[in-house]
A = this chain, B = another copy of it.
Amino acid sequence: MDNFTFYSPTKFVFGKDTEQQAGALVREFGGSKVLLHFGGKSAEKSGLLGRVRESLKGAGVEFVELGGVHPNPLDDLVYEGIDLCRKNGVDFILAVGGGSVIDSAKAIAIGVCYDGDFWDFYSGKAAPKKAVPVATVLTIAAAGSEGSGDSVITKKDGMVKRGTGGECIRPKFSILNPALTQTLPAYQTACGATDIMAHVCERYFTNTKNVETTDRLCEAVLMAMIHETPKVIADANDYEARANIMWAGMVAHNNIVGVGRDQDWNSHGIEHELSGLYDCAHGAGLAVIMPSWMDFVYKHDVMRFAQWATRVWGCKMDFADPEATAREGIKRFREFLHSIGMPINFAELGAKEEDIPTLVKKFGLPEGGRTGGFVKLSSEDIAEIYKIAAKASL
């Protein structure tokens, strides 16, 4: 196991009606003038925004509002948010929504405290050190952004999707009411579930040896997702299954199950080019990419894939042919994703095989460069994974 630091100082307030505590929590963490940041009309229509506004007013917290966050959040709204915060002396940002809204709020939070262009943090020119405090009222179990110091934004010019991270943008508190996710359509619910499972897999496939505790914790989250996700696809109002998925989504991404090991985030990177170019849902893109990445890399550590296949997917170990067990695990993963309504190839996602050279170019590896924590991929390898993804079938 490698040395590590684990620090997750977010206060999670979980359960029914917890959004009514928003105002008191903002006060507890020192906020007095809030930017209320949100997405489209669903939070307004459902009454959620109204309840949050009431809670803020009840606690004597002033606020300004900025809605309109796009599912793949764009830089132009971030610039608008930074201006709005500066003009109004905002000292706290409350994101009401899913990962996109939260990521947009985080970008605004670091942008307000930075003299240059906030995109510097996403292009790798600067690292976030200071931010306006951020908190969340989560409405989608997916990104794990409610418990992480990460943010992903898309630059409209060229549709480039990039991420940044830092302790200063980790939420002070996150309100997790599973009932708020009950209005989500099945497709978006499944996209969220796929994202959660991918967050675990990106940590699970590692070259670090002797990580049994975190292996078991990763497997636990995956098994819970396999058990709970079909329930919410069958019945959107299954509060209990929503609750299990919502907690799994946080645990999957605050890194408690991934400490002390090399991780591999190539599936996320390879997917980002798909959702950047086609504006598809991140989770749907992951459903197409992640098993294809596995097809491409499993021979690098057959026994790790066989462990995953047997422990998580209940495959019988084929001692004469462990590769067959590894492949069976990947097959069951793809079948599971298909069963919850996810696309598994380019055609089902709405991507085009002829765009592969564009996708690889946008991925932007330098000539001869390689990237990855489990298997270091070249541009040619990435093209190969897109090709597998293009033609994948059950």
Instruction: Write the residues of chain A forming the contact surface with B, with a CB cutoff of 8 angstroms.
Output: 1-16, 18, 178, 209-217, 219-221, 223-224, 227-228, 240-241, 243-245, 247-248, 251, 256, 259-260
Evaluate contact between B9 and A213: CB separation under 8 angstroms.
no
- Residues of chain B within 8 A (CB-CB) of A14 are 3-6, 259-260
Evaluate contact between B212 and A228: CB separation under 8 angstroms.
yes
Instruction: Count identical subunits in the complex.
Output: 2
Partner of A247, one of B8, B16, B224, B260: B260
Contacts known (A240-B1, A244-B1, A259-B14); A217 close to B214, Cβ less than 8 A:
no
Complexed CA–CA distance, A2 and B178 (Å): 11
Evaluate contact between A244 and B2: CB separation under 8 angstroms.
no
- Residues of chain B within 8 A (CB-CB) of A260 are 14-15, 243, 247
Complexed CA–CA distance, A14 and B256 (Å): 12
Which residue of B has the minimal Cβ distance to A222? Answer: B216
- Residues of chain B within 8 A (CB-CB) of A243 are 1, 210, 260
- Residues of chain B within 8 A (CB-CB) of A211 are 244
Evaluate contact between B209 and A240: CB separation under 8 angstroms.
yes
Partner of A12, one of B7, B209, B248: B7
Could you pull out 15 A-B pairs where Cβ atoms are within 8 angstroms?
A: A1-B15, A1-B243, A1-B244, A3-B15, A4-B14, A5-B13, A14-B259, A209-B240, A212-B244, A213-B248, A216-B219, A216-B220, A219-B220, A243-B260, A247-B259
Complexed CA–CA distance, A223 and B256 (Å): 17
- Which are the 7 A-B pairs with shortest beta-carbon distances? A3-B15, A9-B9, A210-B240, A216-B220, A220-B220, A213-B224, A1-B243
Evaluate contact between B217 and A221: CB separation under 8 angstroms.
yes
Evaluate contact between B213 and A221: CB separation under 8 angstroms.
yes
- Residues of chain B within 8 A (CB-CB) of A224 are 212-213, 215-217
Evaluate contact between B1 and A12: CB separation under 8 angstroms.
no
Closest Cβ–Cβ distance, residue A229 to chain B (whole Å): 11
Contacts known (A212-B224, A212-B244, A217-B251); A4 close to B9, Cβ less than 8 A:
no
- Residues of chain B within 8 A (CB-CB) of A247 are 1, 213-214, 259-260
- Residues of chain B within 8 A (CB-CB) of A212 are 224, 227-228, 244
- Residues of chain B within 8 A (CB-CB) of A256 are 251, 256
Complexed CA–CA distance, A337 and B261 (Å): 30
Complexed CA–CA distance, A342 and B211 (Å): 26
Evaluate contact between B244 and A210: CB separation under 8 angstroms.
yes
Complexed CA–CA distance, A217 and B209 (Å): 21
Most chain B CB neighbours (cut-off 10 Å) among A1, A8, A11: A1
Which residue of B has the minimal Cβ distance to A167? Answer: B11
Complexed CA–CA distance, A12 and B240 (Å): 31
Closest Cβ–Cβ distance, residue A159 to chain B (whole Å): 35
Contacts known (A216-B221, A241-B210, A243-B260); A11 close to B18, Cβ less than 8 A:
no
Closest Cβ–Cβ distance, residue A222 to chain B (whole Å): 9
Evaluate contact between B12 and A5: CB separation under 8 angstroms.
yes
- Residues of chain B within 8 A (CB-CB) of A15 are 1-4, 260
Closest Cβ–Cβ distance, residue A78 to chain B (whole Å): 28
